[in-house]
Structure 1
């Protein structure tokens, strides 16, 4: 079985694939101070809850946009699973060409989304990933990754609004019943929700114009279902897109030879 680890800015997602389907997915908050032993106590306990033997994990792959978390995630795989993990980086064989100025600085999550979307849906397409940041990733009709755009995630916008305006409360995002808010909280919710829908529609529209056609629009990330309620923009909802990208990347590089790196790597 394959263990996939997607370490984002907000959460680390662990998922196990048995070759035909995902058999379990779990998430915990991201912390660059969490140790390999802490990962083990938490995740192996969850394995037990579904009857999954840690010894059945024969491969692992890590994708992270938090470099400081990589050390202990690697140690967890090595010490507790006896598996040397692949790490999603520019040195692997991706099977999708990146037409960007510096592929080494491209976030793994963005390229993974492009890889999986191209595999399942074919280009041209745009992936909109609602995460800590909202990213827009473009694959052309030739199956090449072309770059995209990065905007602040909606929860970052909520935090910034609360910090900068002393009288505005901290609130959660949700779809308002009306655009015209008759209270401060409803007015904030309206501005955040419909303003963000407008941001997404606007960026996708401009990218589509540059692409010269109507690409498929793929939505992923935790808030994608919420924002899909406010727009008809999305052709596909793909909640596991980044995980599938990691799985595809691991399969493509399954024959690569890996040896234990020094503990500092």
Structure 2
């Protein structure tokens, strides 16, 4: 049984897989000041909820876009499981061809997404990951990660809207009944949800035009379920994509699969 952890700017995603089966996926808020003990308590509590004993954990894999938490998280895993830990980064086998100006700049979460997408879907592929930022990663027909787009995330846009205006309230991400709002809250919901969906549709149009062929569109990330249903393109939702990628990378590096 393998523990998989993705440290994001907003959430830490914690999951567990056994061979090909994903046992669970949970999210906790990212706290950059968390100590190894606090992180260990989070992990142990989640494992207990799913009735998984720490002795059953034979290995762990971590991806992170918050470098300040990496050491603390490794120590936390060691406290509860005493198992080998792989951190996705330079020197780790992924099998992914990265054809961008500086491959080291590609976030480990986007690497894991791409590895899983290539395993699950036919290229070319555009991966839409909706987290703190909304990222679009492009994999061409030759299975190479050739670049992408980074845009402000839905949460960032919504926070900026409410924090920088005196009279606009905080709102939830429930969809409005129609696009043309008749009150402040419905107007804001329409702007945020349909605005984000329209942004994704527009970017997909431009990316598809540049590629010269229609790719497979795959969406993942914490906010994808709220936004993607409002897009006009046919986009597959796969919120297990990151965990699947970490599972594949773990297998490549622990001898379960050739790189």
The match for 2:96 is 96
Q: What CA deviation, in whole Å up to 9, does each residue of 1:105-137 have, x standing for no partner?
A: 111111211111011102101001111100000
- 2:87 equivalent in structure 1: 87
Corresponding position of 1:193? 193
Q: Is the 8 A contact 1:219 1:234 kept in 2?
A: no
Q: Do 2:96 and 2:144's aligned partners in 1 also have CA atoms closer than 8 Å?
A: yes
CA drift at 1:92? 1.2
After superposition, give the CA deviation of every residue in 1:168-220 in whole Å (9 maximum; x if it has no partner): 11212222111111111111111111111110001111011111110010011
The aligned residue for residue 76 of structure 2 is 76
Asked if the contact 1:125/1:138 (under 8 Å) is kept, the reply is yes
Q: Separation in 2 of the partners of 1:98 and 1:157?
A: 30
1:1-265 paired onto structure 2 within 5 Å = 1-255=1-255
1:41 Cα deviation after fit: 2.0
C-alpha displacement of 1:93? 1.4
Does the CA-based 8 Å contact 2:2-2:18 persist in structure 1? yes
Paired with 2:147 and 2:30, the residues of 1 have a C-alpha distance of 26
User: Shift of residue 250 of structure 1?
Assistant: 0.8
8 Å contact kept, 2:201–2:232: no
Q: CA RMSD in A?
A: 1.4
User: 3-state SS of the aligned residue for 1:12?
Assistant: strand
- TM-score w.r.t. length of structure 1: 0.92
Structure 1 gaps of 5+ residues are 257-265
C-alpha separation in 2, matches of 1:230 and 1:247: 30
- For residues 52-105 of structure 1, give each alpha carbon's deviation from its aligned partner in whole angstroms, at most 9, with x where no partner exists: 110111111100000111011010122321113111013211101000111111
Secondary structure of 2:163's match? helix
TM-score by length of 2: 0.95
